[in-house]
């Protein structure tokens, strides 16, 4: 494995908690997620807490995969370097990029079908007792079948993350009526803040975080959000309690915004 400064590792994102690279592992494309060490914490405590977060993250991803939900497969975990090596989801785009490409025109059957699939996926995740903790349309991927759009083999990893490739996939989604919505897959990613919980309030907070992120990132998408929530409600076994808690959390949030 080459070092992160080499041409074989491409930095995709970097935040306060860590950074994400596109790389290869034994000749296969993969994603590397690295958690930063926290200098303000005692080294022993930092090592313990970071390891716990990595274990929790990989455990939740693996459980989702085993239960038939779409999450990146975990290849390798390095708790010394604080890195997770996971599956690169080929032929996919962030849901955020797809929705933004619609230029605020969300009223079409394909978009409704996609957000309904998101709602069903979230319901199934919550029914397994997993709370994501950071739901946004940036943490969801829309994947089309590999046999519909073969990823071009590229010697330069940088071309995998160029905007042209993203546009190619989005155009394929929009233009190919032959790709049934049932063949598309919604993948949940970035489980760094995930946890295990059966509490309706925790799941309601998960939905509230997504609603805030959804409506702020995609103005005018209220009808789409309602479709997503309706699909969640129709799928989840415990949806009545979760939706009630979601509405309660929403009311509290609005009160804080109004009165500070």
- Mean pLDDT of the region 139-149: 77
Give the whole-angstrom CA distance, residue 123 versus residue 7.
40
Residue from 69, 119, 132, 123 nearest 241 by CA: 123
Sign of the CA dihedral with 118 first, then 119, 122, and 123 last: negative
Give the whole-angstrom CA distance, residue 84 versus residue 20.
10
DSSP string for residues in 21-84: EEEEETTEEEEEEEEPP-TTS-HHHHHHHHHHHHHHHHHHHHHHHHTT---PPEEEEETTTTEE
Greatest alpha-carbon span in the chain: 56
C-alpha distances (whole Å) from 212 to each of 3, 67, 190, 238 are 38, 28, 18, 22
Give the CA radius of gyration of the chain. 19
* Whether residue 179 has pLDDT greater than 80: no
* Whether residue 57 has pLDDT greater than 90: yes
In this prediction, residue 260 carries a pLDDT of 45
Task: Break the chain down into helix, strand, coil percent, rounded to 5.
Answer: 50, 20, 35
Q: How confident is the model at residue 156 (pLDDT cuts 50, 70, 90)?
A: low
Q: Are strands 74-78 and 28-35 parallel, antiparallel or unpaired?
A: unpaired
- Mean pLDDT of the region 93-118: 90
Three-point CA angle 226, 135, 179, nearest 5°: 65
Catalytically active residues, by annotation: 134
Q: Measured in whole angstroms, how far is the alpha carbon of residue 96 from the centre of its chain?
A: 10
């Amino acid at each position: 494995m080459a070092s992160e400064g080499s041409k074989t590792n491409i930095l995709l994102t970097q935040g306060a908690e860590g950074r994400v690279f596109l790389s290869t592992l034994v000749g296969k494309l993969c994603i590397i997620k690295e958690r930063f060490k926290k200098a303000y914490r005692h080294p022993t405590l930092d090592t313990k807490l970071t390891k716990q977060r990595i274990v929790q993250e990989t455990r939740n991803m693996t459980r989702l995969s085993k239960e038939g939900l779409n999450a990146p497969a975990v290849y390798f975990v390095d708790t010394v370097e604080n890195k997770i090596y996971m599956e690169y989801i080929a032929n996919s785009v962030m849901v955020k990029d797809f929705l933004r490409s619609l230029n605020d025109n969300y009223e079409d059957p394909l978009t409704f079908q996609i957000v309904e699939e998101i709602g069903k996926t979230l319901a199934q995740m919550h029914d397994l007792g997993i709370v994501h903790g950071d739901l946004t349309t940036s943490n969801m991927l829309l994947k089309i079948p590999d046999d519909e759009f073969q990823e071009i083999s590229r010697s330069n990893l940088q071309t995998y993350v160029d905007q042209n490739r993203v546009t190619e996939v989005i155009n394929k989604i929009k233009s190919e009526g032959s790709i049934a919505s049932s063949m598309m897959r919604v993948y949940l990613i970035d489980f760094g803040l995930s946890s295990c919980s059966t509490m309706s309030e925790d799941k309601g907070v998960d939905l509230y975080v997504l609603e805030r992120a959804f409506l702020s990132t995609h103005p005018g998408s209220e009808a789409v959000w309602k479709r997503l929530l309706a699909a969640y409600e129709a799928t989840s076994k415990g949806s009545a309690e979760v939706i009630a808690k979601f509405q309660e959390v929403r009311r509290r949030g609005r009160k804080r915004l109004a009165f500070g």
